[in-house]
Structure 1
Amino acid sequence: MSKRHPIIAVTGSSGAGTTTVKRVFENIFRREGITAAVMEGDAFHRYTRVEMKERIAAADREGRPISHFGPDSNEWEALEGQFRDYGRQGRCKSRFYLHNDREAQPHGQEPGTFTPWQDIAADTDLLFYEGLHGCVKTPQVDLARHVDLKIGVVPIINLEWIQKLHRDTRERGYSTEAVSDTILRRMHDYVHYICPQFGETDINFQRVPVVDTSNPFIARDIPTAGESMTVIRFRNPSGIDFPYLLSMIDNAFMSRANTIVVPGGKMDLAMQLILTPMILRLMDMRRAQHS
């Protein structure tokens, strides 16, 4: 952790909704005049799309699991190195993984490839990471220890699968069968590397639908915000003004001493109310270190 160069990480699995949370942070940064360096977790995949397909085929022949969730397919040591560099000096490198033609065309590259590594912009106030592995801990790496504010985005698993199925079939051109195979292939790594991160996070936002999602593979629509509740768990509830949150968010209630539940349509408001003062505290500590 670094008071001088703070790092915020939003972590969640594919289709969990971390991109939506990213937009909330962007609004806070813009409103508060905060300049953030943005780092995408997909930048630290180890293989291009073509290379990954080759690794998956080989792993299937050998009867062993491999997925984008696990260590074999990611550069976690490189990611930890960039976190460390930013915490020490406010500078690091990143790149982009180009998911589709729309993202790839401006770079003159093929989808499923990476842009070259580049230095992030100078003179940023903080580093903002959004992706799969912002809080991973293994015997080899400990990403969580470098992060000052750790946010988990964790819809219940059926909802997560529905969101992934709709995104990957409608936006990325995959078949339902291909997405289902990916979900199955990732399960070992999901259990061992994705789930444990949510024990490291400072706050978890878990979206829970209140409509039937029993069979996510035949769901015609993603449950709307109005058909959901959001469970917000604080690792350390000390200093959280729960009476204020309850007064500001209609129909919110507390389910445990460290947990507040809000209507799904109020999730953005809840995030703004909860995260803005936390980010401003990081900025106050940063300014104190630079004075």
Structure 2
Amino acid sequence: MPDKTFRMHRAGPDRPRPRPIMLAIAGDSAAGKTTITRGLVEALGPERCVSLCTDDYHRYDRAERRELPFTALHPDCNHLEILEQHLQLLATGAPILKPVYDHATGELVRPELVEPAPVVIVEGLFPLHSKLARACFDVTVYLDPPEEIRRGWKVARDTRARGYTTEQVLAELDRREEESAAYVRPQRSHADVVVRFAPIESRDDPAGTPLSATVMLRPTIDHPDLTGVLQPGLTRAMHLKLERDPDGRPVESLHVHGYVPREESLAVEKAIWTALGDPDGESPECLGRIGDARSEPLAIAQLLLLYHLRDLGRQVAP
């Protein structure tokens, strides 16, 4: 990835605090970005991790957007230049005064001060939109669920939490489709890690079977060595394949199966957590949480990202 050949000039000797590790989680609306981020923040703890959402950089509030010829998925609907400036500041260990968009009311409200923690997670529609933004991150992730699943998630979320009707959500999805294809999905090609939650196509699992996950590991960064984790007896829950991504590039794909008994997934989680350097403790219970339910493939995907963050923390000098 060309962006990896240069990095932001970060905290020098005049700054006493070490530079943060920067993680981007990009994806379309209702792809699961907030869910995966919430578990990581809780696992790391608020003193070690801070997150922000690029939705806060909307240029217009919800009422104003109704009169516009484009949607929130269009770059012109967002202050992306300010986002780039703020990413550069955070990457150097400096605080920012971040705008705030209230999803409950659709209004732009009072900005808030964000002090960078040792880990900064930026999730949303546009963290990987520009070359300058991408250069601020140590590791980048794109969430890529099948469209029919994502649409179902968006209908469920927006009708439950944001006051929309099903018809309104579906109409907005149709209105956004062209801009989603033009501006959001292309960010997938810039991600170091692509995560896809979906059923396994070759299986005819009954309704209610938990979704599996495919974690595509591109060779744009150094990924952790999982040979010690993928031991005999654990391969039914998780296995690694050498495949090609949609652009034809060779990648390693980690397949995490949602249909296996929970005890097998827990054994994989334990192996990864041990590899993280905590052989005696249990992996955080907050991982894999979706409301009151739990997804073992989600927990394992989050653990792999924690693996990356811990490894980067050992590599990055103040």
Does the Cα contact within 8 Å between 2:213 and 2:298 map onto a contact in 1?
no
Q: Deviations over 1:199-224 (max 9, x none)?
A: 1111111011358xxxxxxxxxxx75
Alignment of structure 1 residues 147-226 onto 2, 5 Å: 147-210=137-200, 226=209
Structure 2 counterpart of 1:8, from 11, 17, 23: 23
* Residue of structure 1 equivalent to 2:78: 74
Does the Cα contact within 8 Å between 1:11 and 1:132 map onto a contact in 2?
yes
Pairwise CA distance, 1:239: 4.2
* Residue of structure 2 equivalent to 1:114: 108
- The residue matched to 2:123 in structure 1 has which SS? strand
Q: Does 1:91 align with 2:73?
A: no
* Residue of structure 1 equivalent to 2:238: 252
Call closer, same or farther: CA 1:132–1:245 in 2, change over 3 Å: farther
Distance in 1 of aligned mates of 2:98 and 2:66: 23
Distance in 1 of aligned mates of 2:129 and 2:33: 16
Give the number of equivalent residue pairs. 251
Q: Does 1:24 align with 2:10?
A: no
* Residue of structure 2 equivalent to 1:235: 218
- The residue matched to 1:243 in structure 2 has which SS? coil
* Residue of structure 2 equivalent to 1:50: 63
> Residue type of the partner of 1:230?
A
Distance in 1 of aligned mates of 2:223 and 2:23: 19
Q: Which runs of 4+ in 1 moved over 6 A?
A: none
Distance in 2 of aligned mates of 1:12 and 1:246: 28
Distance in 2 of aligned mates of 1:93 and 1:37: 14
* Residue of structure 1 equivalent to 2:277: none
TM-score by length of 2: 0.72
> Residue type of the partner of 1:145?
A
Does the Cα contact within 8 Å between 2:217 and 2:223 map onto a contact in 1?
no
Structure 2 counterpart of 1:262, from 237, 248, 256: 256
RMSD, aligned α-carbons = 2.3
Does the Cα contact within 8 Å between 2:98 and 2:113 map onto a contact in 1?
yes
- The residue matched to 2:50 in structure 1 has which SS? strand
For structure 1, the 5+ residue unaligned runs are 60-65, 101-110, 212-222
Does the Cα contact within 8 Å between 1:249 and 1:262 map onto a contact in 2?
no
Identity of aligned residues (%): 23
Between 1 and 2, higher relative CO (CA 8 Å, sep ≥ 6) is seen in: 1
Distance in 2 of aligned mates of 1:29 and 1:94: 22
Does the Cα contact within 8 Å between 2:211 and 2:297 map onto a contact in 1?
no
TM-score by length of 1: 0.78
Call closer, same or farther: CA 1:269–1:169 in 2, change over 3 Å: closer
Distance in 2 of aligned mates of 1:181 and 1:273: 36
Does the Cα contact within 8 Å between 1:40 and 1:96 map onto a contact in 2?
no
> Residue type of the partner of 1:274?
L
Distance in 1 of aligned mates of 2:172 and 2:314: 43
For structure 2, the 5+ residue unaligned runs are 1-6, 11-18, 202-206, 244-251, 259-294
Call closer, same or farther: CA 1:21–1:239 in 2, change over 3 Å: closer
Call closer, same or farther: CA 1:249–1:11 in 2, change over 3 Å: farther
Does the Cα contact within 8 Å between 1:9 and 1:150 map onto a contact in 2?
yes
The farther-off stretch of 35-44 and 73-82 is: 35-44
Does the Cα contact within 8 Å between 1:95 and 1:116 map onto a contact in 2?
yes
Does the Cα contact within 8 Å between 1:24 and 1:268 map onto a contact in 2?
no
> Residue type of the partner of 1:73?
C
Distance in 2 of aligned mates of 1:42 and 1:176: 22
- The residue matched to 2:88 in structure 1 has which SS? helix
> Residue type of the partner of 1:280?
R
Q: Does 1:41 align with 2:41?
A: no
Q: Does 1:126 align with 2:119?
A: yes
Pairwise CA distance, 1:95: 3.0
Does the Cα contact within 8 Å between 1:10 and 1:129 map onto a contact in 2?
yes
Structure 2 counterpart of 1:276, from 306, 311, 314: 306
Distance in 2 of aligned mates of 1:239 and 1:76: 29
> Residue type of the partner of 1:37?
V
> Residue type of the partner of 1:282?
L
> Residue type of the partner of 2:255?
V
- The residue matched to 1:95 in structure 2 has which SS? strand
Higher helix fraction (1 or 2): 1
